[in-house]
Amino acid sequence: MSKGFLVVISSPSGGGKTTLREEILKCEKDICYSVSYTTRLPRREEVPGKDYYFVSREKFLQLVKENRFIEWAEVHGHFYGTPRDFIEENIQKGKILLLDIDVQGARKIKECNLPSVFIFLIPPSWKELERRLLKRSTESEKEIKKRLKRAKEELSFYQDYDYLVVNRLIEEAIQDIRCIIRAEKCRRARKEKWIKQLISESS
Amino acid sequence: MSKGFLVVISSPSGGGKTTLREEILKCEKDICYSVSYTTRLPRREEVPGKDYYFVSREKFLQLVKENRFIEWAEVHGHFYGTPRDFIEENIQKGKILLLDIDVQGARKIKECNLPSVFIFLIPPSWKELERRLLKRSTESEKEIKKRLKRAKEELSFYQDYDYLVVNRLIEEAIQDIRCIIRAEKCRRARKEKWIKQLISESS
């Protein structure tokens, strides 16, 4: 077994992260998803405890005070936080943890120096991003404009990421990310136990 | 398209490199193989110009003098060399070039600072390596002992490599390497053109 690490996926809104995350978790049984806390309301299709832990602002701020988040941030007026215990315990166990997080959050994760891989999922074109946001009819026009403005800002964070995956066809993007994870398991630092074992056998 | 790069695969003798290389080239049409020059005699199944360019010592040394190798080395008493023009032209064209090379050669490639990915293919255990070498009955016992001694030395080069792939089941090792190549195409530095295009569209 290789050592545990985080797979941090960020994407401008409408990038298609949710579908992609679900597909990856379905295919890869040794990967678990780190469920974040948020103070925003659930969308129609979201399941509490699976997509997010939905909590009140008071509860959230209490958890902040207790240092229970590895990172937290305010995005579009709502709080989002990544639970510390879950992450640390699972890395210790050698697990691969999928984190679906915005660019601010990813930057904070980066500062934690946990073993991590950073993937930026980008739309194939700006026109396509607009189209996808409009298609997702759960939000008002004002909200969509806000998201587009934010998407533009988010793109400028790309240098924080190890990999850029273009989400043209979702199946291709899923394959890219599955391959990135498989490749990362083969990184020298994560396989050192193997080679040391082999070297000791040869003596 | 992402930028061109080298995929350098090394392995202690009997690691199963040839089968693996052929399978990868069969599956991935955008990867080409860099055929090396050698002064050793062809093995039964080897095809000149496909597996190696088989040349005399005189011819080889002349090519060395003309600086036509990006690296060359003597291994088991034979010369092996990697042709410079082929490599440089294909990287320029954005191609992915597979190089199947020993640890000394890989180290020299590393010093060239060409865009490269280094993969070390290792047997699952020392016992298994011995078994595989014995099975390949084309060589004398003396030759096998020499190869085992050399394999032991080669293992100590593992820190030159970005990835360690354990060749337990050949199909799994092939998948690992295909994933490594696919992941490497998604590296930020190789996809920068994409994101810059996207950023310019958003303005």
> What ipTM is given for this predicted complex?
0.88
pLDDT, tens only, B74-89: 887 999 999 999 999 9
Instruction: Decide: B10 and B121 in contact? Cβ < 8 Å.
Output: yes
Helices (H) and strands (E) in chain B, counts: 8, 9
CATH, range B5-34+95-201: 3.40.50.300
Residue with tokens 């003596």: A203
> Between chains, do A158 and B194 touch, taking CB under 8 Å as contact?
no
Whether B14 shows a pLDDT value over 70: the answer reads no
Rounded-to-integer distance, Cα B115 and Cα B190, Å: 10
For the entire predicted model, the pTM comes to 0.89
Q: Which tokens hold the place of B161?
A: 């490599």
Q: Which residues fall within 8 angstroms of residue A114, CB to CB, at 6 or more apart? A: A5, A6, A70, A87, A91
Which strand ranges, in their side-by-side order, compose the sheet holding B116-122? Answer: B31-33, B96-100, B5-10, B116-122, B163-166
* Stretch (H or E) spanning B73: strand B69-75
Q: At what angle do helices B170-185 and B188-201 cross, to 10 degrees?
A: 40
CATH, range A5-34+94-201: 3.40.50.300
Q: What's the pLDDT score for residue B1?
A: 52
In degrees, rounded to 5, the angle at the alpha carbon of residue A96 between the alpha carbons of residues A94 and A100 is: 150
Q: CA distances (Å), B149 to each of A112, B126, B146, B154, in order?
A: 43, 12, 5, 9
> Between chains, do A125 and B201 touch, taking CB under 8 Å as contact?
yes
B182 contact A CB<8A:
yes
A100 contact B CB<8A:
no
Q: What's the pLDDT score for residue B137?
A: 63
Bridge partners, A120 (sequence order): A10, A164
B187 contact A CB<8A:
yes
Whether B15 shows a pLDDT value over 60: the answer reads no
Q: Spell out the domain ranges in chain B.
A: 5-34+95-201
> Between chains, do A183 and B187 touch, taking CB under 8 Å as contact?
no
B194 contact A CB<8A:
yes
